[in-house]
Amino acid sequence: MKFFVDTADVAAIAELNDLGMVDGVTTNPSLILKSGRDIIEVTKEICSIVSGPVSAEVVALTSDEMIAEGRKLAAIAPNIAVKVPLTWDGLKTCKVLSGEGFMVNVTLCFSVNQAILAAKAGATFISPFVGRLDDINLDGMELIGDIRQVYDNYAFKTQILAASIRSANHVSQCALMGADVMTAPPNVIKAMASHVLTDKGLDQFMKDWAKTGQKIL
């Protein structure tokens, strides 16, 4: 499973990229706001750090305007994936931009039917929002599994990009469900390294080492 990092924080992206933990980046209007930077400027910098897909989201609501914005965003760098919402106008935009050879990430997916439409419109990625489904007492992981089954049934090439990842457990569950990609904030990716038994074992090793009175350096 590929790891995308869900942030517009350039320093956090660079740190994870240096460790080989970044296969791509996803951004959205909320993350751009949080960065406090110009969308074109910060997206260009991210694309210079990461070689994989970098999702940059349109903000228009009509297909003609989305297409124009998408073309402008795609011109930033060759690894831009234009992010469009899963609306009828978003699907129209996906069809046009994917037909022009651009990567397209169709976002805000909450059903299998939506995922099928995105695949037929030529989406490179479909982004089901796991955490937001959990928030309303629906099973986000069940949606990942259902989309996986349907895509495999018909050999759709669209990659399942699990989004709205809230915890390290979400990451492992997405991997078990067969998601092609997951995108998560930097703190969630880092949390994957944590385990209470690792901490407990390391603490015991350090106590025993201190008793030896030895030094390595």
Question: Which residues are catalytic, by number?
Answer: 83
Are 114 and 136 within 8 A, CB to CB?
A: no
- Region of 62 (left: φ > 0; alpha: ψ -120 to 50; beta: rest) is beta
Token pair of 63 as six digits: 């297909």
Are 208 and 186 within 8 A, CB to CB?
A: no
Give the C-alpha separation, 48 to 30, whole Å.
Answer: 21
**Can you spell out the DSSP letters for 70-89?**
HHHHHTT-TTEEEEEESSHH
Nearest by Cα to 114 from 155, 181, 160: 160
SS3 call for 24: strand
Q: Is 19 exposed, middle or buried (0-12, 13-18, 19+ CB in 10 A)?
A: exposed
